[in-house]
Copies of this chain bind each other. A is one copy, B any other.
Amino acid sequence: MGKVHVSAFGISLDGFSAGPNQSLEHPLGANGTDMMEWFFPTKTFIEQHGGEGGETGIDDDFAAKSMTGNGAWILGRNMFGPVRGPWPDDTWKGWWGDEPPYHVPTFVLTHHPRDPVEMKGGTTFYFVTDGIHSALEQAKQAAGEKDIRVGGGPATVRQYLKERLVDELHLAMRPIFLGKGETIFEGLDLRELGYKVEETVPGERATHLIVRKQN
């Protein structure tokens, strides 16, 4: 069986992984894009979005690796979109246009039922209303031997870490302050939960930290 991982997950030096006040214009919250400025210039990101060129190097190696080998994704509702409460209709299909970058079954945590949405390029969004364990089970079925990537946001990552369900966590620490927003660390004692930083790799625009669950 593949691993459950969180990858290419941006954090600021002061520990935030999303700015406050998410909106249609600011999917990562206020100033949240600063946290991903290591990712946007990479060849991986640019080609994902239909462009050409982009930088190669350490940051790009991590970006590429994060997209490889995934048989299923799990996303929190807020990572899927800015809509809150019951789904008013089927209009919202994610931030990513007709062809999302997932290309595999993608399970969206929500309290509000909705029919699956099939997108171009292999991504189907399934809406899971019975919690993180159920979503993980469904993702495992879908992924087979491949990995499962928990995409985010911070609240979703925190829930999976709290239950020790994440095998590997790759953080990309940007040398910036966000000052406010959402963090994956709040209320979480990763030391006590048995997580350990095993590698530190300085990249072009971020410091990459590989955290693994100890047995």
Contacts and interface: CB of A to CB of B under 8 A. Distances in A.
Interface in A176-195: 176-180, 185, 188-193, 195
A177 B190 contact: yes
A178 to B, nearest CB: 6
Contacts of A179: 188-193
**Chain A binding site: helix, strand, loop or mixed by DSSP?**
loop
A14 B15 contact: yes
A180 B191 CA distance: 9
Nearest to A195: B177
Given A177-B189, A177-B196, A179-B190, 13 more contacts: A13-B209, A14-B185, A14-B188, A175-B209, A176-B191, A176-B196, A176-B197, A179-B188, A179-B189, A179-B192, A180-B189, A202-B202, A202-B207
11 contacts: A13-B171, A13-B197, A14-B188, A31-B191, A177-B190, A177-B195, A177-B196, A177-B197, A179-B189, A200-B202, A200-B207
